[in-house]
Amino acid sequence: MTLSNATDRGPLFFRDRDWHPPAYTPGYKTSMTRAPHRALVALGSTLSEETGPAFGHDMLGELDNNLVMNFTGQPAIGERIIMHGRVLDETGRGVPHVLVEIWQANAGGRYRHKKDGYLAPLDPNFGGCGRTLTGPDGSYEFLTIRPGAYPWPNHVNNWRPMHIHISVFGTGFGQRLITQMYFEGDPLIAKCPIVNTIGQDRAIQALVAPLDMNRAIPMDCLAYKFDIVLRGRRQSFFENRKEGM
Amino acid sequence: MMQGLDYLKETPSQTAGPYVHIGLTPNALGNPGIYPQDLGLSPIREGARGERIIITGRVIDGAGMVLRDALFETWQADADGIYPGNDPRGAADPNVTGWARVAADFDTGIWRLETVKPGRVPFPDGRLMAPHINVWLVARGINLGLQTRICFEDEGAANAECPVLARIEHKARIQTLMAKRTGPGEYGFDFKLQGENETVFFDI
């Protein structure tokens, strides 16, 4: 692989942990025993976080970003949608050639996972995962079906809103992020304890993808746009010098 | 009115949830047919230089339960302390990819990582950090991936000089980052998410 420009190697912007969900969020019950009790040890980034794995097109199959067709070659049942957007960093620059992976339930809200016992049936033609690399401007695109809502055992009658899980890499391991995309107008968003682990409403809105009629294909599929923002990188090379410590 | 700082905000994190394997390790889950193989099966290839090591362990919650749905990724330097890819200091051992995706066993919760012991990497001020493997851990119930490091108990001198370990105010907690030698080339390491002997997690 080739080295990208030097600004892809600078120190990482600090993470705003009041913007992200905190670890301990009792409304989401599983977090109660999986949240560290001790304070995180804070540190500026080092080479260990500023470097990261790179992925090439040679690992991708032709249908990897097409969840409608990539399981059996026969189309999955459901509402056909394009999910597209850009991976940016906090300075607004597109992040090219990074790996975006998604996974989701089928149109009935059932996951192809041995631990999911929900009574909605599996779709024999839907596997539920896809992956792609961003283009030179950070753009990405998937074709999939809109996932259904599904119940989960948290409070007695909790239902997850329709959502697609997203895993994204930056150019540094410290930018690694997993999140979930929700759909414009879904009334379950406001009721979801996982969504509401996030304290600020503006942050929640950042996870809601608007309907994008401009990218819909008539008589074929609708579209939703979802931009993903990763931690930025500083561009100064004068900090951190030994004599400055 | 002054100018605004027009930075974007990082996309907020959400938990990976219970079904993260569908997306990240579908073949290990038993969903073959989409990708020929899962990514991150090994951080090294045959011929990687350095000491071959195997680390095994568990991820344990605050109630003492072993997680069987945890997944983590590791990122490490080669035996000389160079990172593959975008390390500004030069090229790493071509047989070290440095990155692995490790899922706990669905039945036992035990995970296993086979790699080479990484060399020392400089801290931004030039001092050397102890040999370490960077870890990013996700699971149901974890709202934002947890960052930590696996260090090695048999690297006493390097550990004593490490500027990152030195940041840990409660010295008794440093041992929570130490892989314990269990045999020739073999180490054990448990992640304790909460409570007594809770693993040190970083905000880096």
Residue of A nearest to B63 (CA): A33
Tokens of B67: 């997680």
CB contact (8 A) between residue A206 and residue B12: yes
Q: What is the mean predicted confidence (pLDDT) over A53-71?
A: 95
Distance CA A54, CA B34 (A): 21
Distance CA A65, CA B200 (A): 37
Given CB atoms, is A128 within the 8 Å cutoff of chain B?
A: yes
How far apart are the CA of A107 and the nearest CA of chain B, in angstroms?
16
pTM score above 0.90: yes
CB contact (8 A) between residue A229 and residue B10: yes
Residue among A59, A174, A203 whose CB faces B204 most closely? A174
pLDDT of residue A33: 98
For the question of residue A97 being annotated catalytic, the response is no
C-beta of residue B99 within 8 angstroms of C-beta of residue B60: no
How far apart are the CA of A71 and the nearest CA of chain B, in angstroms?
6
Is the pLDDT at A243 greater than 60? The verdict is: no
CB contact (8 A) between residue A43 and residue B132: no
Given CB atoms, is A122 within the 8 Å cutoff of chain B?
A: no
Give the length of chain A: 245
Pairing of the two strands B99-103 and B71-75? antiparallel
- Please choose, from the candidates A16, A19, A15, the residue with its C-alpha nearest in 3D space to the C-alpha of residue A198: A19
Given CB atoms, is A35 within the 8 Å cutoff of chain B?
A: yes
Is the pLDDT at A240 greater than 60? The verdict is: no
pLDDT of residue A245: 41
At position A177, the amino acid (one-letter code) is L
Distance CA B68, CA B45 (A): 27
Residue of B nearest to A90 (CA): B8
Given CB atoms, is A169 within the 8 Å cutoff of chain B?
A: no
CB contact (8 A) between residue B124 and residue A11: yes
pLDDT range class, residue B19, cuts 50, 70, 90: very high
Q: What is the mean predicted confidence (pLDDT) over A191-212?
A: 98
Given CB atoms, is A23 within the 8 Å cutoff of chain B?
A: yes
Give the pLDDT confidence of A82-111 residue by residue, as tens digits: 999 999 999 999 999 999 999 999 999 999
Distance CA B62, CA A5 (A): 43
CB contact (8 A) between residue A128 and residue B22: yes
Distance CA B138, CA B17 (A): 8
Distance in Å from the first CA to the final CA of chain B: 34
Averaged pLDDT of chain B: 97
pLDDT of residue A9: 79
CB contact (8 A) between residue B140 and residue A30: yes
Residue the block writes with tokens 């007695």: A156
Put simply, the chain A residues between 178 and 217 with a CB less than 8 A from any chain B CB are: 178-180, 194-195, 197-198, 202-204, 206-207
Please give the DSSP secondary-structure letter assigned to residue B31. Answer: -
Give the pLDDT confidence of A70-82 residue by residue, as tens digits: 999 999 999 999 9
Distance CA A126, CA A104 (A): 10
Is the pLDDT at A238 greater than 70? The verdict is: no
For the question of residue A160 being annotated catalytic, the response is yes
Give the pLDDT confidence of B86-144 residue by residue, as tens digits: 898 999 999 999 999 999 999 999 999 999 999 999 999 999 999 999 999 999 999 99
pLDDT range class, residue A239, cuts 50, 70, 90: low
Q: What is the mean predicted confidence (pLDDT) over B154-183?
A: 98
For the question of residue A84 being annotated catalytic, the response is no
For the question of residue A112 being annotated catalytic, the response is no
- Please choose, from the candidates A141, A49, A136, A44, the residue with its C-alpha nearest in 3D space to the C-alpha of residue A93: A136
Chain B CB contacts of A70 below 8 Å: 34
pLDDT of residue B126: 94
Distance CA A179, CA A209 (A): 13
C-beta of residue A12 within 8 angstroms of C-beta of residue A174: yes
Residue of B nearest to A5 (CA): B86
Residue the block writes with tokens 């400055």: A244
C-beta of residue B138 within 8 angstroms of C-beta of residue B25: no
CB contact (8 A) between residue A41 and residue B203: yes
For the question of residue A155 being annotated catalytic, the response is no
> Does the model's ipTM exceed the 0.90 cut?
yes
pLDDT of residue B14: 98
pLDDT of residue A4: 46
Candidates A9, A15, A20, A165; catalytic one: A165
pLDDT of residue A149: 98
How many CB atoms sit inside 10 A of residue A38's CB? 14
Tokens of B85: 């890819």
Is the pLDDT at A2 greater than 50? The verdict is: no
The residue among B15, B127, B198 with the most chain A CBs within 10 A of its CB, best to mutate, is B15
Averaged pLDDT of chain A: 93
Candidates A80, A84, A163, A233; catalytic one: A163
